[in-house]
């Protein structure tokens, strides 16, 4: 009996020691190899900020229960150049936008000439959707614009996510602060809350689909909810997405905008 | 009775003094009648402008549009259905018309000049806002035409004229950008600086297509054959409609006018005080000048009461003659300016404030104003004369004679 007792005590000490070693190893590993907020956002930027892009898009605008659908083609190069042309419905067909740096021009077929839009209007709704012109044209590295803080983890739509808080480093940003849920497995921001400097929640974005294109995990289905309007949301579905292709420079010109 | 005879003879005893006294009263009453008629003319002018250019006798909008009207929410539009027209049916209606108000930014190189557009039924608006008569250049618009009439001030700001093209870029009721090129067919002038600098009008059907509002309008104005029935008619229509039905009397601008009426009343009160002091000054002079005479009357045995009565009747005679003269002059002047008008164009067009009246103010005298002015003159003359009279008659005869 005494031998059995001694053996049991010895087994207990071995197991306890092993457990302690495992916990210590795990903590050490977590501390040394855990990602920082900056590292996470760098991966997000690597997925979403592209050199050039071309796509077909469908925009579904829901307003007070009524659904309207619009389609357009988009081109973008860096953060300065964006060209958008609506192809449907018939009423909007041929409406074109050209953004060069902070300036935007609109071409309406009925007017047959380009009109410059005042700068502050870039923050207004694009074609009645919950996206602003700035939202659609956004293609800048968040690392350069925001100070980043990692809060922890959370689960969104059964996906494990990092939760980050981003606060603007400079005032020339579209939104003063953002709260992001970044999926751990894809480094796609699947949920983003956009805030004003006052702390008021302005918009909420959810990404429900993305596509692997080259080295990018690129969002292809994005829902935007404008929290300042009631009973409204917009879904943007990107199709035929091409990234980092060669886009002729004439696309981003007023002559192309005003072509007949 | 003899006191009346005495008072009448005393009036002519020093005719120069009586005439001067009567004249000052006449001038004061003329000023009062003119001021009252002028103020009434301005408020009538504003009221007329509000009815013809803004509200009609009754204005219908959605309740949400009324609540957020400053933002010009195009999506809050009235459905111009057969049921709607059935609900507003009333035999007191002379003419009605739908309108769409929309904001735009205009400019050749950059959209920077704010302007306000109205899409109107051109034929029906002839009987409401009367823009056809307000044209100073060019011709009127017609249904279906891609054309516009522009305020004179706006045309100057844009440096355009009849025959030029006006390019409009705005948003539809669903916030999508939209635009159109319009031929400037005519230039109008309301005389109201703020309106002439910012308004233009297009045909309703063109506006409905432009703004994605086919079959709808943001407001509906009604003109009645009896404007005094507006409140009752509006109440009746409201019982049949879910929209907001507002008679012109409840229009915000007219409500401000009523509040401004208090300010006008204060100004009118100032004029009356000045008039009173002019009359009082005159009567003081008349009474104190006759202190010796009063002393003589007291020494001869007349008591205070008949002396006061005599002087009061004399004052009343001066008051009646002066007030009659002032009322006649005031009436002639006011009624002449009722038809001739006072041209306020320079004041209205050059000021930075948006005066809601103009350009020509037609005075609005009434029999009540004339009678009121006359009675004011007579009563004031007697009352302000009684004060010095009562002081003088209390003097001892010897003291009065020494004066």
Structural element, H or E, at residue B292: helix B291-299
The pLDDT, as a whole number, for residue B281 is 76
Q: At what angle do helices B252-289 and B367-393 cross, to 10 degrees?
A: 30
Question: What is this structure's pTM?
Answer: 0.75
What are the C-alpha distances in Å from B290 to residues B4, B13, B279, B293?
Answer: 18, 12, 17, 5
What is the average pLDDT across A142-147?
92
Three-state secondary structure call for residue B64: helix
Mean pLDDT of chain B: 86
Token pair of B346 as six digits: 């320079």
The pLDDT, as a whole number, for residue B298 is 79
Q: How many CB atoms lie within 10 A of CB A257?
A: 18
State the residue for tokens 């004031």. Answer: B380
Asked if A111 and B169 come within 8 Å (Cβ–Cβ), the reply is: yes
| A122 has a pLDDT exceeding 90 | no
Asked if A110 and B175 come within 8 Å (Cβ–Cβ), the reply is: no
- Give the residue with greater pLDDT, B316 vs A250: A250
Concatenated DSSP letters for B215-266? TEESEEEEEES-GGGHHHHHHHHHTT-SSEEEEGGG-HHHHHHHHHHHHHHH
Lowest mean pLDDT among A25-29, B249-253, B272-276, B389-393: A25-29
Chain A interface disruption, residue of B114, B168, B174, most A CBs within 10 A: B174
**Residue A123 at interface with chain B, using a CB cutoff of 8 Å:** no
Chain A interface disruption, residue of B179, B183, B206, B209, most A CBs within 10 A: B179
The pLDDT, as a whole number, for residue A133 is 87
**Residue B48 at interface with chain A, using a CB cutoff of 8 Å:** no
User: Mind listing the pLDDT tens digit for each residue in B43-99?
Assistant: 888 888 888 888 899 999 999 999 999 889 999 999 999 999 999 999 999 999 999
- Integer distance in angstroms from the first to the last C-alpha of chain B? 29
Instruction: Give the best-scoring range by mean pLDDT among A197-201, B51-55, B336-340.
Output: A197-201
- Give the residue with greater pLDDT, A74 vs B353: A74
Whole-angstrom distance, CA of residue B370 vs CA of residue B367:
5
Asked if A91 and B176 come within 8 Å (Cβ–Cβ), the reply is: yes
State the residue for tokens 């009121």. Answer: B372
Lowest mean pLDDT among A119-123, A205-209, A225-229, B170-174: A119-123
The pLDDT, as a whole number, for residue B352 is 43
The pLDDT, as a whole number, for residue B353 is 47
Q: What percent of chain A has pLDDT over 90?
A: 65
Whole-angstrom distance, CA of residue A121 vs CA of residue A138:
15
User: Mind listing the pLDDT tens digit for each residue in A22-67?
Assistant: 776 656 555 555 789 999 999 999 999 999 999 999 999 998 888 9
ipTM surpasses cut 0.85: no
- From the CA of B334, how many Å to the nearest CA of chain A? 52
Whole-angstrom distance, CA of residue A83 vs CA of residue A259:
13
DSSP category for residue B176:
-
What are the C-alpha distances in Å from B97 to residues A57, A89, B79?
Answer: 42, 31, 13
Closest residue to A128, CB basis, from B109, B111, B174: B174
- What are the backbone dihedrals phi and psi of residue B239, each rounded to the nearest 5 degrees, phi first? -70, -20
Whether omega before A89 lies within 30 degrees of 0, making that bond cis, reads: yes
Lowest mean pLDDT among A135-149, B148-162, B269-283, B325-339: B269-283
What is the average pLDDT across B323-343?
90
Token pair of B11 as six digits: 């009036």
What is the average pLDDT across B194-204?
92
Q: At what angle do helices B367-393 and B15-49 cross, to 10 degrees?
A: 140
State the residue for tokens 């002038």. Answer: B189
**Residue B109 at interface with chain A, using a CB cutoff of 8 Å:** yes
Residues 168-207 of A with CB under 8 A from B: none
Chain B interface disruption, residue of A95, A104, A115, most B CBs within 10 A: A115
**Residue A118 at interface with chain B, using a CB cutoff of 8 Å:** yes
Whether omega before B248 lies within 30 degrees of 0, making that bond cis, reads: no
Helix locations, chain A, DSSP H: 2-33, 37-48, 133-137, 142-145, 254-257
Mean pLDDT of chain A: 89
* Beta partners for residue A206, in sequence order: A191, A223
What are the C-alpha distances in Å from B368 to residues B271, B316, B382?
Answer: 18, 21, 21
Whole-angstrom distance, CA of residue B62 vs CA of residue B215:
15
Chain B residues closer than 8 Å to A115 by CB: 111, 167, 169, 179
* Beta partners for residue A224, in sequence order: A205, A234
Q: At what angle do helices B291-299 and B252-289 cross, to 10 degrees?
A: 60
Q: Pairing between strand B147-151 and B113-120?
A: unpaired
**Residue A66 at interface with chain B, using a CB cutoff of 8 Å:** no
Chain B residues closer than 8 Å to A95 by CB: 176-177
Chain A residues closer than 8 Å to B183 by CB: none
User: Mind listing the pLDDT tens digit for each residue in B90-143?
Assistant: 999 999 999 999 999 887 666 668 899 999 999 999 989 888 888 999 999 999
């Amino acid at each position: 009996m005494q031998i059995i007792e001694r053996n049991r005590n010895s087994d207990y000490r071995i197991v306890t020691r092993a457990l302690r070693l495992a916990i210590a190893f795990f903590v050490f590993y977590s501390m040394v190899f855990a990602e920082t907020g900056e590292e996470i956002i760098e991966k997000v930027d690597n997925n979403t900020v592209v050199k050039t892009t071309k796509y077909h898009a469908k925009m579904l605008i829901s307003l007070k229960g009524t659904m309207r659908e619009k389609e357009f083609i988009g081109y973008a190069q860096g953060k300065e150049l964006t060209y958008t042309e609506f192809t449907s419905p018939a009423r909007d067909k041929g409406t074109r936008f050209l953004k060069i740096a902070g300036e935007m021009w609109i071409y309406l077929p009925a007017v047959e000439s380009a009109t410059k839009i005042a700068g502050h209007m870039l923050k207004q709704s694009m074609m009645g959707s919950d996206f602003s012109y700035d939202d659609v044209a956004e293609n800048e590295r968040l690392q350069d614009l925001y100070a980043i803080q990692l809060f922890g983890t959370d689960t969104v739509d059964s996906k494990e996510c990092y939760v980050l808080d981003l606060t603007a480093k400079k005032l020339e940003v579209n939104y003063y602060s953002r709260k992001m849920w970044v999926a751990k497995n894809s480094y796609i921001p699947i949920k983003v809350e956009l805030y004003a400097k006052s702390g008021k929640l302005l918009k909420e974005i959810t990404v429900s689909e993305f596509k692997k294109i080259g080295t990018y995990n690129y969002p292809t289905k994005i829902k935007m909810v404008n929290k300042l309007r009631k009973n409204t949301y917009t879904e943007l579905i990107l199709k035929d997405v091409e990234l980092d292709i060669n886009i002729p420079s004439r696309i981003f010109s007023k002559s192309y905008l005003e072509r007949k | 009775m003899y006191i009346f005879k005495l008072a009448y003879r005393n009036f002519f005893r020093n005719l120069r003094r009586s005439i001067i006294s009567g004249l000052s009263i006449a001038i004061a009453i003329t000023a009062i009648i003119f001021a009252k008629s002028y103020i009434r003319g301005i408020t009538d002018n504003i009221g007329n402008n509000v009815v013809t250019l803004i509200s009609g006798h009754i204005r219908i909008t959605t309740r949400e549009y009324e609540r957020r009207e400053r933002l010009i929410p195009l999506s809050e539009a009235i459905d111009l259905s057969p049921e709607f027209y059935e609900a507003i049916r009333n035999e007191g209606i002379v003419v009605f018309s739908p309108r769409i108000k929309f904001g735009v930014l205009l400019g050749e190189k950059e959209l920077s000049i704010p302007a306000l557009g109205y899409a109107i039924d051109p034929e029906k608006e002839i009987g409401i806002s009367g823009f056809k008569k307000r044209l100073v250049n060019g011709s009127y618009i017609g249904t279906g035409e891609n054309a516009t009439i522009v305020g004179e001030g706006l045309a100057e700001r844009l440096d355009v004229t009849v025959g030029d093209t006006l390019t409009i870029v705005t948003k539809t009721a669903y916030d999508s950008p939209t635009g159109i090129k319009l031929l400037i067919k005519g230039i109008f002038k309301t005389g109201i600086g703020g309106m002439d600098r910012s308004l233009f009008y297009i045909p309703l059907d063109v506006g409905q297509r432009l703004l994605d509002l086919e079959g709808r309008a943001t407001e509906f104005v009604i003109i009645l054959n009896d404007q005094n029935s507006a409140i009752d008619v509006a109440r009746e229509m409201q019982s049949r409609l879910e929209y907001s039905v507002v008679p012109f009397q409840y229009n915000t601008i007219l409500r401000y006018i009523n509040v401004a009426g208090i300010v006008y009343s204060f100004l009118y009160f100032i004029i009356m005080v000045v008039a009173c002091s002019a009359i009082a000054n005159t009567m003081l002079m008349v009474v104190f000048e006759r202190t010796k005479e009063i002393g003589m009357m007291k020494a001869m045995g007349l008591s205070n009461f008949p002396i006061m009565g005599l002087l009061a009747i004399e004052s009343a005679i001066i008051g009646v003659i002066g007030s009659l003269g002032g009322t006649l002059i005031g009436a002639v002047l006011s009624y002449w300016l009722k038809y001739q008008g006072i041209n306020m164009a320079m004041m209205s067009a050059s000021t930075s404030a948006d005066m809601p009246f103009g350009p020509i103010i037609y005075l609005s005298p009434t029999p009540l104003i004339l009678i009121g002015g006359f009675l004011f003159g007579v009563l004031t003359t007697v009352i302000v004369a009684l004060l010095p009279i009562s002081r003088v008659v209390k003097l001892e005869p010897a003291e009065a004679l020494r004066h």
